[in-house]
Amino acid sequence: MWLITTLVNLILGVTIFWRNPRSPVNRSFSVLVLLIALWTVANYFSDHTQILWQAIFWNRAIYFVSSFIATASVFFSIYFPRQKIFLDRKATLWLVGTGIGIGILSMFSKLLVKEVVFVGSRTEINFGPLFFAHSAYLLGCVGFSLFHLWDKYRKSIGLVRTQLGYVFLGFFISTFLSIITNVILPTFAYFELTSFGPSFMLIMVGFISYAITKHRLLDISVIISRALAEVLAVFFHGTIYLILVWFYVNYISAKIDFPFLVWTVAYGILVGQTHQSVRLFIQTTSDKVFLKGKYDYYKELSEISSRVTRTLSLENILSTLQRAFYEVIEVSNPRIYLWEDFDRPEVRELMEVKEMSFRGEDLVIPCRLEDRLIAIIVLGKKLSEDAYTDEDLRLLQVLANQTAVALDHTRTYEEIKQDYEASREKLLETERLLARSERIASLANLIREYNHEIKTPLAILRNELALLPDDPSLENFREKAIKAIERIKDIVESTLRLSDVGKRKIEDVNLNEVIEESLKLFPPSGVEVIKELSPLPTIKGDSDDLKMVLVNLIKNAVEAMPQGGELRLKSYTEQEQDKTYVILEVKDTGVGIPKENLEKIFEPFFSTHVTKGRGLGLSIVFRVVREHGGKIQVESELGKGSTFRVALPSF
């Protein structure tokens, strides 16, 4: 057991030091485990020699080395995993000087090991006065180290907390058992368990080795994996060579002749060409088996990082990220906050995070492009309860950088696409409105052309009706005929107004005044009128035409509420592309307009059968609004009412 303990500590110490000799953590830990290896060797030889001077030497060496183990444990607890406290020069000299002083006195005087007695296959010690000072120094250093590691553990989070937990637990169990067997019990002259002390150090090595492979403690798992793969590759090639030698000696020639040298050289060349490939195959295979899928895990996470940038679809980017978080990393409650979420109170707090960090149990990853915050990724704990490793954090940072680029490009693409769609829709709407205006103008021009041909027959009919005898039986006929003639005449006059542009008087108009005057011209009856009029700038227009617009809209609203209701007239201003518009809304709580009729209501002679008009009022409204450089929109819901919105530019 002593040999295993010694070799494991030697390999661990050399490997960690070679990994990063400039790191204070690596240096202090390497010194600590190498001293433990020397302490194990001294313990072994102290119980396996029957020569008195050798027994004295090795027993003194035990306490000499243990003095420096105590000192090294203090420095390791200070540096691991990050230095939190700093010893000044005076404290450092006192700590190191005390350890060196006690160690030298332990080794070269009788103040600690006074004499050694052989008892069976082991030795027992008669202690001198320095034993208690040595024990106090050892206990003080170990106690300080454990307290400092525990304090760091309490104040840490995430991967660092996990690493500290394993180191503290392994260090505590090992030192606790070793102090009992090699310090406390020998104080009472009980030496039967001292040989177990070094073996307890394997507990600490076990915890640290688990943390290295599971949680990337000191980041040497790759080195260990490669070293083992190298050894196995050499063993593989060596075994094949021994088999070939055995076959040659037994079946070809027992002499080392020229052919033997030729195929040996040839095999050496073959090994030189294939050794690297064999080692990589063994290392890759062992990583997949012993590191629990981390090889595929990191490979897949890297592929996802590059996959994110291959699409300009926001939906695809988010689904790729969600798959990474749920299926690859397997975290709880992953959240992705985009630019439209930045106004939310809980997100505003996260926007203060400048770089990847933990907030409680959540890992917050800002996705930044230069100095611009593009998105924020928040990940909960892993479902496996494992902490995030350094490799996790590195790959997640790469993923965040790639995500920032992809989202920024996607947002630019979406804006261009939306502008294109808006422009296309606006063009189609303009063409549609232009076609409607042309239809209305064509109809008006047609009626104007045939105005004389229509009015002349109507006048003749009216005169002929006047010549009819005053017969009571003809009175009902005369009234109906005259009413029909007047209706035809009114239709013609109304239609002519659609093209009556030349008679308009353009002046400064206040739309609020137009609203008030229109209500006087057509006082709504049977409905409640609510006015919400804001101060407005003047517009350029014909007040009579605008009154006609208001009267038509008010009239339609009242007719849509046969059982009464609420008529709301609202005015305000609105900015659109650096242009100010005066807005008029006429809202009713009437029967509403079917969705399929909304595009038809401005067509000449179209009627919803709700109003009592001829279907020309809204066509006149549309034409007047368009001639004033404005636009009219309607929103309606069956059973709840309609809202007509007129926007006129303010110059």
26-49 pLDDT, tens digit each: 788 888 888 888 988 888 888 888
The CATH architecture to which 294-417 belongs is: 2-Layer Sandwich (3.30)
Rounded CA-CA distance 239/233 in Å is: 10
Question: Does the pLDDT at position 589 exceed 90?
Answer: yes
Q: Is 358 left (phi over 0), alpha (psi -120 to 50) or beta?
A: beta
Q: What is the pLDDT of residues 414-443, one digit of tens each?
A: 666 666 666 666 655 555 555 555 555 555
> β-strands 528-533, 566-575: how paired?
parallel
pLDDT at residue 435 in the model: 54
What is the arrangement of strands in the sheet containing 631-637, beginning at the earlier edge strand? 528-533, 566-575, 580-587, 641-649, 631-637
Contact of 584 with 557, CB cutoff 8 Å: no
Sign of the C-alpha dihedral, residues 496, 498, 502, 503? Answer: positive
Q: What is the pLDDT of residues 522-566, one digit of tens each?
A: 888 889 999 999 999 999 888 888 988 898 899 889 988 988 899
Cα separations in angstroms, 234 against 238, 276, 282, 426: 6, 10, 11, 74
Rounded to a whole number of angstroms, the distance between the first and last alpha carbons of the chain is: 97
| CATH 3.30.565.10 domain locations along the chain | 507-649
Note the pTM of the prediction, 2 decimals: 0.42
Q: What is the pLDDT of residues 289-338, one digit of tens each?
A: 554 444 455 566 667 766 676 666 777 787 878 777 777 777 778 888 88
Q: Is 369 left (phi over 0), alpha (psi -120 to 50) or beta?
A: beta
| CATH 3.30.450.40 domain locations along the chain | 294-417
User: Looking at per-residue confidence, does 209 or 229 come out higher?
Assistant: 229
Question: Does the pLDDT at position 567 exceed 90?
Answer: yes
> What residues are paired with 336 via a beta bridge?
377
Question: Does the pLDDT at position 108 exceed 50?
Answer: yes
Report whether CATH 3.30.565.10 matches the domain 507-649: yes
pLDDT at residue 384 in the model: 63
pLDDT at residue 439 in the model: 57
pLDDT band (50, 70, 90) for residue 207: confident
Rounded CA-CA distance 241/21 in Å is: 37
3 state DSSP class of 372: strand
